[in-house]
Copies of this chain bind each other. A is one copy, B any other.
């Protein structure tokens, strides 16, 4: 197990080594490690080598000039200047929250960015200010819309964070697909098949092949098939893509450039700039007094937590599993898989930074 602080400092140092200003390297490292803490291992330090590869390929500007290129009192488009999404997104969220302070809500569409880590991190920035935070991002195409053989959408996640009084905050953070691609990678490593309803094969048929997405198939939208509402998951992924990509002037649909890990495809000629995000903040007291709202959120959460559960299970509130993981991992440390450790050792050699192996 690795202490979160140790990993965070290592990440910070690597980002500094590729040229990030110290404050931005710190911010980026905190965003990245928050994924490991919250148990979303696929979006954490496992991707550090990928960000460095983006830099190596000239797709990442380590010291971007993030700027507003278009705005109204409650909206803005931000150009991320090919910066780390880990830095661009919190800056865009800051702009959204400052607008919300002034006019009740703020909505920022971002172009020319890269992978921003977990959507939930940025949405949760709103909580301290008694605002509802809202985050979306598009991503490279892995998903076949209902009845499509072509991969047209990314896993396009959505996160919404809602403040509460005494209860922990409500934090929904989920991809618009049946499962995240990371679940297939786990099965691939173990040589196991996947449940039906996660992917289709190259002919669009249901498959349990955990390598299907790599061999001409595609990830299925949330809902899995038409009979169970896959057109709704497709619609949700499409909304995320349009808000993140079309509204901002980033790439969208099949043109979103890949993150540098998977190697599914090379970046092709685009229809916009980089990857797109969409971030928003609404002051709850733009609708009703904040105390009233937060008391009612506590009551909402209490009702759902006390719902009768199916035997052997528990009714969870969105955000519960991630919060429990964070409490545990802050205490006990973060487990890393051997290939992740290997990638960190390689980075430590390349940049002459110490990385201590832990058993």
Interface membership of A344, Cβ < 8 A: no
Contact assessment for B147 and A75 in the assembled complex, using a CB-CB cutoff below 8 Å: no
Q: Which residues of B contact A228 (CB under 8 A)?
A: 178-179, 195, 197-198, 224, 228
Say which residue of B105, B160, B172, B232 sits within 8 Å of A75 (CB atoms). B105
Contact assessment for A249 and B288 in the assembled complex, using a CB-CB cutoff below 8 Å: yes
- The answer to whether residues A236 and B238 also contact, given A178-B229, A308-B149 and a CB cut-off of 8 A, is no
Residue among A132, A179, A231, A307 with the most chain B CB within 10 A? A307
A232: nearest residue on chain B (CB-CB)? Answer: B174
Q: How far is the CA of A77 from the CA of B284 in the complex (A)?
A: 11
Q: How far is the CA of A297 from the CA of B311 in the complex (A)?
A: 48
- The answer to whether residues A242 and B283 also contact, given A73-B103, A147-B316 and a CB cut-off of 8 A, is no
Say which residue of B204, B239, B313 sits within 8 Å of A147 (CB atoms). B313
- The answer to whether residues A246 and B297 also contact, given A145-B307, A318-B238 and a CB cut-off of 8 A, is yes
| Chain A window 298-333, contacts with chain B (Cβ cutoff 8 Å), 1 for yes, 0 for no | 011001100111110111101000000000000000
- The answer to whether residues A229 and B222 also contact, given A77-B287, A146-B316, A204-B310 and a CB cut-off of 8 A, is yes
Q: How far is the CA of A150 from the CA of B303 in the complex (A)?
A: 10
Contact assessment for A75 and B242 in the assembled complex, using a CB-CB cutoff below 8 Å: no
Interface residues of A in 228-253 (CB under 8 A from B): 228-229, 231-236, 238-239, 241-243, 246-249, 252-253
A235: nearest residue on chain B (CB-CB)? Answer: B172
- The answer to whether residues A147 and B73 also contact, given A232-B175, A253-B304, A297-B246 and a CB cut-off of 8 A, is no
Chain B nearest CB: distance from A77 CB in Å? 5
Q: Which residues of B contact A284 (CB under 8 A)?
A: 247
Q: How far is the CA of A172 from the CA of B229 in the complex (A)?
A: 13
Say which residue of B227, B252, B315 sits within 8 Å of A148 (CB atoms). B315
Q: Which residues of B contact A271 (CB under 8 A)?
A: 296, 299
Contact assessment for A316 and B246 in the assembled complex, using a CB-CB cutoff below 8 Å: no
Q: Which bracket fits the contact residues of A?
A: 35 or more
Q: How far is the CA of A310 from the CA of B205 in the complex (A)?
A: 9
Q: How far is the CA of A147 from the CA of B313 in the complex (A)?
A: 6
Interface membership of A72, Cβ < 8 A: yes
Interface membership of A97, Cβ < 8 A: no
Contact assessment for A148 and B247 in the assembled complex, using a CB-CB cutoff below 8 Å: no
A-B contact pairs, 17 of them (CB 8 A): A72-B283, A103-B103, A105-B105, A105-B107, A146-B316, A147-B316, A149-B307, A152-B304, A160-B235, A174-B231, A174-B232, A177-B229, A222-B222, A241-B300, A247-B288, A249-B288, A253-B303
The 10 closest A-B pairs by CB, nearest first: A72-B104, A75-B286, A204-B310, A172-B235, A75-B104, A147-B313, A73-B103, A150-B307, A174-B232, A74-B74
* Contact surface of A with B, Cβ cutoff 8 Å: 70-77, 102-105, 107, 109, 132, 145-150, 152, 160, 162, 170, 172, 174-179, 195, 197-198, 203-204, 222-224, 227-229, 231-236, 238-239, 241-243, 246-249, 252-254, 271-272, 282-284, 286-288, 292-293, 296-297, 299-300, 303-304, 307-311, 313-316, 318
